[in-house]
Every structure is written in C-alpha cells, then in structure tokens.
Structure 1
Amino acid sequence: MTEPRMTDNLWRDRNFRLIWTGETVSTLGSAVAGTSLPLVALLVLRASTFEVALLTAVAWVPWLVVGLPAGAWVDRWRKRRVMVTCNAASVVAFAAVPVGYVAGWLTVPYLLCAALVGGFAKVFFSLAYRSYVPVIVTRAQLLEANVKLQGSESAAQVGGPGLAGLLAAVAGPVAGVLADAVSFGISVLCLRYVRAKETLKPRGNRRLRTEIAEGIGFIARDRYLRSLIGAAAVANLALDGYAAIQVVFLVRDLGTGPGAVGVVLAIAEVGGVAGAPLAARLGKRVGAARAFLLCEALAAPAMLLGPFATPGAGLTVFVLSGMGVAAGIVGSNVLVGTFRQTYCPPELFGRITASSAVVNYGTIPLGAFLGGVLGEALGVRETMLIMAGVQLASLVILLKSPLRRDKDFPTAAARPLQSLQPPHQPPPAARSGSSPG
C-alpha cells in the first residue's frame, strides 16, 4: 500500500475529512433507523416484543452466513470500491421501507427483509472500512484517527435517537428510515472523491478456503486475540439482547412516548462522545491495556442500573446507565481497534477481522433472539437484568486473560509474522457492542 501523506493535523487531510464526513453522516442515519425501525414495528405494524427483537437479529445474521469468505474477498478487492457498493445497496434497502409504506405493502416480513439486506451490506462495508483506515493515515496517526472517527460516530449516535423521535412525532416513524437511506447516499458521494491509493498484493490462484484458514490460524495461535474475541462475543450477546428490547421497555413498561424515547436514548449516548477522547488520554497515562480494562469495568456494572428505571423522574436511572455503558464500550473499542490495526499484518487484516467478527457478531442475533424470547416469557425488565449479568461475565473473561498483567497492548514488532504463519498456511466489533476483538 502507498504511504499516506503526513499532515500536522488530520483535519487538513482531504481524504480523512471525506472518510470522516461520510462515516459520521451514515452513522447518524443508522442511529436514526436504530430507533425508527422498532418504532415502525411497534406503532405502525403493532409488532410483538419478539418481532421487534427479531429486527436486530436478522440485521446481524449475515455475519454468520458470509463473514468468513467476506474477509478473504475484501482482502483481495479494493476497499473503497467495496464501501461505495455496500452503501449504495443500503440506500436501496432502506428507501424500500417508506416506498412500501406509501404503497401499502409494509408488513413485519417486509421490514425484516430490509434489515437483512442492510445487514449483508454492513458485513462487507465494515471489513473494508477497518482495513481502509490504515491506508489513508500513517501508523503514528491511527490512534488520533480512531479517536476522531469513534468520537464523531458517538456524537452522531447521540443525535440519532433524538432526531428519530422528532421525525416520528412530526412525520411518523417511517420518516426516520428514509433519513437513513439519504445518509447512505451522502456517504457514497464522499467516498467517491477519496483519492488514497492502495496496493493489492497478488495472490495468484490460491483457494478461498486456504486464505480463510490463514485468518483463523492467526487468531487460533494468538492468546491476546483469543481472549478479546471470547469476551467480546459474550458482551455482544448481552448488549444486543438488552438493546433489542429497550425500546419496548421504554414504550410499554414505562409509558414513554416516541419523542421522549428519542430524547432518552440520545442523552444516554452522550457517554460515548466522552468515552473516545477520555480513553485516549487514559491510555497515555496508565497504558492502553489497563485503560481498556478500566473502560470495560465501567460498562458492565453500569448496565445493571437500566432495568431499575421507573416512569417519570425514574428515567434518569436509565439515562445514567446508558451513559456509563456507552462511555465504557466506545472507549474500549477505540483502544482495542487501534491495537488490532497495528498488531495484525495488513495483508491478513480483513480475514482476521472477519474471523473475529463471525464469532463476536454471531452472538448478536442470538442475543437479540434470546432477548425477544425471554422478554415474552419472563418480562422485559427481568430479561434486561439477565443480560446485564451476562455482560459482567465478559469482564471476568478479560480479568482472567493475559491483559490483566500488561500495562500496554503488545506490538506486532514483538511477534514476528514468520512465527505466526506455518508453512502450510492454515485459521470483531458499539453496534452496537464491543468491536470484533
């Protein structure tokens, strides 16, 4: 790959500004849709708790279906082209929802199909995006770039639910899904003007199965990545089992209106805005590995507070819980994401990320499915408490990992690639949740 141009400030780099703008706008749209889709299901289609949770599940199922081959394919392809194609597909998928509503076709299965198509596009986009950031910035700028990208994404997630609530109150919840489609269109335009060039290493006629095995093998022999993946898989199961039913909890259990739901979720996401820069400062002061563990230690207990919220003033408890979870998850994602980008060989990065994501993101539909099933059987509040307990288990995994003894994450320089790739060349991620290890 070509070495990016050095700048005194990333804001002066045109390519970074375009990537930042496109990703921030599309994240804002996705945050709007993340609240609008459940509201459409609840208020327009009168869906059950299980059907609402199923919206989250089907959006993440594609990681289980195409995650592994997608990583190998993305390593072969030009990343910018993949990202443009995926966002264009998302425009079509989410624009189909308001079209279906106007035409009278909108049903729960129709809504699920739109979420599924968007999920497939997200698989390829996410893998290409994570591999492309190191192309447009230097190694020394990666932490700064990730802080800026994650910070602005968190800010977009703050505004998204509030905007979704406003749109639902003024024009109906379907308007939020249309806003998501427009945001993906803006991202496509931004990406088309990025001019950073990447060099693809020729792979000859190697079999796809062999290339997939290289990514899995790298992880299988690495104790740090194995621990991070295991913890993230458990965390994502808990986070998305909780998130899949939180709108139901706010609307049906606490009697919160659509506009107020958006405001509550928006304020809760403020923690994520603070989490990114605070994690970077904390990492410089106490070490990146220790800062990562501290962020995770904040998120897990904070999640326990949410189910104790009550109507009216008691919503403050839900907001404080959400702020703590968002700050911890966003902070840990910044630190572990930078670690992966510097630690993993660039030519294997897509496959390593995909192998991680299949495990980590594969638990998201399971968590959402369990959230829906348990929510119907036991009650929404009780299910949220169960999921908060599962989140604590992910912290226990990290505290038993090699990271508990380290001040900083290890570097790739300390672990030669030759020792990680045997001759026969054999094997994530805040939401909505933890990044793919």
Structure 2
Amino acid sequence: MPVDTPEADVEVLRIPGFRRLWIANAFRDVGAEVAAFALPITAALLLHAHPIQMSLLTAGSRIGYPLLGLPAGVWVDRWDKRAVLIGADLGFLLALASIPIAYMAGVLSLPLLVAVTAVTSVCGVFFDIGHSSVLPLLLPRTRVADANARLQTTDQTVRAVAPSVAGALAQTIAAPLLYAVTATSHLLSLLFLTRLRPAPVPVAARQHRHFRREVADGLSTVIRHPLLRLLCLQAALNNIGAGILLTLMPLFLLRIIGIPAWLFGVLTTVGAVSGVLASLVGPRLRRRYGEIRMTVIFSALFPLGVLAAPLAAVFPRAAVPLAATAEILINFVAVGRSISTAGLRARVTPTTHMGRVSAAYGVVSQGATPIGALLAGLIASTWSITGGLWIGVAEMAVPALLLLRSPLRTRRTLPAEWEARDDSA
C-alpha cells in the first residue's frame, strides 16, 4: 500500500501529505484563475487580437500534451514526484513573471503571450502527471476520488473568488500586471510542495527499462482497458468542442456583446459557485448512484449545459443571463464528471504505470483542445463567431451519444475484474 492502512477511513484533509498538496494546489489555482482572466482581456482588448490570433493563444495553452505528454509520462514514472511538481511550479513562476516585466518595459506582444502560454502548458503537463502520480503515494488508492472531490471544491471556490477580484483590480491596473499575482501564487505553492514526503515508488517502477517500450505501455494500457479507452475517446471528442468554445466565447462577450472586464470576471465566478456545489454533492451522488452511472448521467448532460452559450448570440438582449446559465451548467456538469472519472482512472491503473497512463490519456484528450481552438479561428474568420459557437455545441453532443450507446449504460459501479490488483510493472 502507498500509505498506511489506518488512514484508509480518515478524512483526507487530515492526512498530512495530502493536506500539503491541497494547500499548494490552492495557491496554484489562484495563479491559474487570475492568469485565465487576464489572458483574454490582455489579448482581445489591449493587443486587439483577431480570431486566428486568439485561436493560437488557446492552442498554445493546450500544446503541452501533444508535444511532450508521452515522454513526460515515462519520465515522471522514473523521477521523484516531489521534484517534478517543484520543477513545474518553478517554470510557471518564471514564465508568468515575464509578462508584467515585458509590459512595464513596453515590449509586450502577442507572440510573447503565445510563447508564455506554450511554456506554461508544458509545465502544466509535468505538474498534472506528477499530481496524478503522487496522489496514490500520499493516500490509499480507494481514497483518490474523495481527495479529488476536495481538490475540486478548492478549485471551484478559487474560481468563484479570483476572477471577480481580478476583474475589480483590472478597473485600476492594466491586465498584464495581474500576472504578478500569478507569479506570487506559484511561489507560495512552491513552499508547500517542498514539504511533501510521498511514499517511495515500488522498486519495479524505478528500474531502468526501454524508453519506447514504456511509452508504448502507457498507450497500450489506455487502448486495451475498455473503461480507459472509452473515457479517453469521449474526453477527446468533448475537448474539440471545448476548444471551440474557449476560443470564441471571450471574443463574443468582450467584442460583440461588449461586456466590461469586471462583468467577464463575474460570469466566471457564477459558474465557479456551481462548480463548488458539484464538488460538495459529487461524492454523495457517486455513492448513491455508483461511479459508472454518475459518469454516464453527467456526460449526457454536457451538451445541454453548453447549449446556452450560442443561444446568447440568438438573443443578444439576454446574452449576459444566458452566458451565466451556460457557465453554471457547464461547471456543474464538468466538475461532477471529473469527480467520477478521476477515481475510476486511479482504480484501474497500476501505481507503477500511473504517470505513463496519465500522460497517454492526456495526449489524446487534452491534445484535442488545440484542434478545436484552431478550428474555431478558421470558422470565425471564414464564417462567423456565432456560427462557430453552434458548431462547438453540436460537436460536444457526439461523445455523450457515444457513452449512452456503450455497454456501460447498464452498469452502476466498476466491475471487480477491471480493478488494478498490484503495483508490479
């Protein structure tokens, strides 16, 4: 076992190792949310980015997995997980600090923004894979879903506060200067990551093996396992639509509707409150309906959640309440589904393969978002932003149909034969 069995029934936040990771993650969330708010404001309003340029920014922010995801999984399985998290956070700190410095020096540009988003995306790959890999070393595998729920609660609570605060600050200071807050947040996150003491990885995972074979192990595990294969395909198809919406919604709200920066932040806050609620009720729903059934239900609700986004273009006078509705529904469904699927992936993946499998899963699923972002730029440039929003919604209905037609629709919980039984490589 990665942790002592007496902790198997303890509230996860009372486990010291996870508590430190949770606090570090909270500071990182603050930085991520402030940066996510500042990026479209800086690009669309200060640097006057066109749809193609916005699509490059969105694609750059998701380029890490298709670029380095597979080898990163192998490296994380071989490396010290604590060192990976610290190194990734340090990369975030240095990259994000360059934006306010460039702004004050008068040299801030869209190419620099694209470069920073690409660097932070690569850092995010190592942080995410290291994060997934270290959780089973800090607490029992069966508690990963509960730990993920606590992390989701914190994530969404930060999302409920940070954008509105950033929006208020943006009324008095330039958006690029908000990146100083993100850099400080990552510095504080680093301080807590240095105190992590995860259990040692099993010996078999630290032995030298063939690099290409380990890369293939991650991909083959995802492809061979029926649950991982289905969830990965569904996530990839879903993220193509997400890439379209992530690119076009800021342009639609800030340019076409013309909402002020503070209201843009409030809309994010409204959605985040819904995410907090989902994170709180998610574990109870998982226990009541079963993790498989919960995944199916929330996946089916996803296209209904995003439908309010293009409707805002049809009814411009109601654009703000419709955009708020979209944020509420999308966040509730996305967080609920994340709680159910994160626990499932941890339970079916051997600890020694966690990095490789997380990387392979991320390459396929997260690598789809840049495709959607680039499609959004093409659609908006050749047709319209509104048309692109409708295409994004239609595309996101496909993965829901895929899961509803799968054999999983008849199951409630994870079959015992799918559980990972040992930590051998």
- The TM-score range, normalised by the shorter chain, is over 0.9
Aligned pair 1:364/2:366, yes or no? no
Q: 1:172 to 1:411 in 2, by over 3 A?
A: farther
Distance change (3 Å), C-alpha of 1:414 and 1:262? closer
Q: 1:409 aligns with which of 406, 411, 414?
A: 414
- Say if 2:134 and 2:198, in contact at 8 Å, map to a contact too: no
Distance 2:23 2:199 in 1: 19
Question: Is 1:378 aligned with 2:383?
Answer: yes
Q: Distance in 2 between matches of 1:412 and 1:194?
A: 33
Equivalents in 2 of 1:16, 1:319: separation in Å?
Answer: 33
Deviation readout 1:51-76 (Å, 9 max, x if unpaired): 12211101211211111111011000
1:12 Cα deviation (Å)? 2.5
SS of equivalent to 1:269: helix
Q: How far apart in 1 are the matches of 2:355 and 2:10?
A: 29
Q: Work out the CA distance in 2 between the residues paired with 1:175 and 1:18.
A: 29
2:297 pairs with one of 273, 294, 298 = 294
* Contact 2:24 2:188 (C-alpha < 8 Å) held by counterparts: yes
Query: CA offset at residue 370 of structure 1?
Result: 1.1
What amino acid is aligned across from residue 99 of structure 2 in structure 1? V
- CA gap 1:389/1:192 in 2 versus in 1, 3 angstroms: same
Alpha carbons of structure 1 residues 11 and 222: separation in structure 2 relative to 1, 3 Å:
closer
Task: Give, as a single letter, the amino acid of the residue that structure 2 aligns with 1:398.
Answer: L
Report if the CA contact (8 A) 2:137-2:201 is conserved. no
Distance in 2, matches of 1:325 and 1:184, equals 27
Task: Tell me if the contact between 2:349 and 2:420 (Cα under 8 Å) persists in the aligned partners.
Answer: no
Instruction: Tell me how far apart the structure 1 counterparts of residues 37 and 248 of structure 2 sit (CA, whole Å).
Output: 11
Q: Tell me which amino acid in the other structure corresponds to 2:156.
A: S
**Structure-2 separation of matches of 1:299 and 1:31:** 22
In 1, the alpha carbon distance for the partners of 2:383 and 2:269 equals: 28
Instruction: Please provide the CA RMSD for this pair.
Output: 2.0
In the aligned structure 2, how far is the partner of 1:28 from the partner of 1:307?
Answer: 29
Give yes or no for the alignment of 1:387 onto 2:379.
no
Q: What's 2:159 paired with?
A: 157
Among 70, 76, 88, which residue is 2:78 paired with?
76
Quote the Cα distance in structure 1 between the aligned partners of 2:141 and 2:125.
25
Local SS of the residue matching 1:408: coil
- Check if 1:264 corresponds to 2:267: yes
Residue 181 of structure 1 is matched in structure 2 by 183
| Aligned counterparts of 2:2 and 2:269: Cα–Cα separation in 1 | 39
Are the equivalent residues in 1 in contact too, given 2:62–2:121 (CA < 8 A)? yes
Moved more, 161-170 or 251-260: 161-170
Shift of 1:311: 4.8
| 1:191 match | 193
How much does 1:11 deviate? 2.8
Alignment deviations for residues 91-142 of structure 1 (CA, whole Å, 9 cap, x no partner): 0000000000111111100111111111111111100001111111123422
Q: Distance in 1 between matches of 2:342 and 2:76?
A: 18
Q: How does 1:230-269 map to 2 (within 5 A)?
A: 230-269=233-272
Residues of 2 paired with 1:300 and 1:346: CA distance? 33
Alignment partners' CA distance in 2, 1:311 and 1:255: 11
What secondary structure sits across from 2:412 in the alignment?
A: coil
Change (3 A) 1:414 1:257: closer
Superposed displacement of residue 36, structure 1 = 0.6
Counterpart for residue 10 of structure 1: 12
* Structure-1 separation of matches of 2:192 and 2:133: 18
Single out whichever of 133-142 and 244-253 deviates more from structure 2: 133-142
Matched, 1:399 2:404: yes
SS at match of 1:245: helix
Distance 2:356 2:103 in 1: 39
Q: 1:412 to 1:93 in 2, by over 3 A?
A: farther
Q: Which residue identity does 1:3 align to in structure 2?
A: V
Query: Aligned residues: percent identity?
Result: 28
CA–CA distance in 2 between the matches of 1:347 and 1:415?
11
Deviates more, 1:155-164 or 1:242-251: 155-164
Q: 1:227 aligns with which of 224, 227, 230?
A: 230
User: What is the aligned partner in structure 2 of residue 430 from structure 1?
Assistant: none
The alpha carbon displacement at 1:175 in A equals 2.4
Q: Secondary structure at the match of 1:206?
A: coil
Distance in 1 between residues matched to 2:419 and 2:68, nearest whole Å: 33
1:172-209 C-alpha deviation (Å, 9 max, x unpaired): 11122222111111111111112233234245432100
Per-residue CA deviation, residues 229-270 of structure 1 (Å, 9 max, x unaligned), is 111001011112101221111111111011111111221222
Select 2:131's aligned residue among 129, 132, 137.
129
Relative to the length of structure 2, the TM-score reads: 0.94
Contact 2:100 2:178 in 1 (8 A): no
Q: Report the counterpart of residue 433 of structure 1 in structure 2.
A: none
Cα distance in 1 for residues equivalent to 2:268 and 2:380: 20
Stretch moving more, 305-314 or 52-61: 305-314
Could you tell which deviates more after superposition, 99-108 or 398-407? 398-407
Which residue does 2:60 correspond to in 1? 58
Give the unaligned 5+ runs of structure 2.
none
Aligned residue pairs: how many? 420
Cα distance in 2, alignment partners of residues 416 and 216 from structure 1 = 19
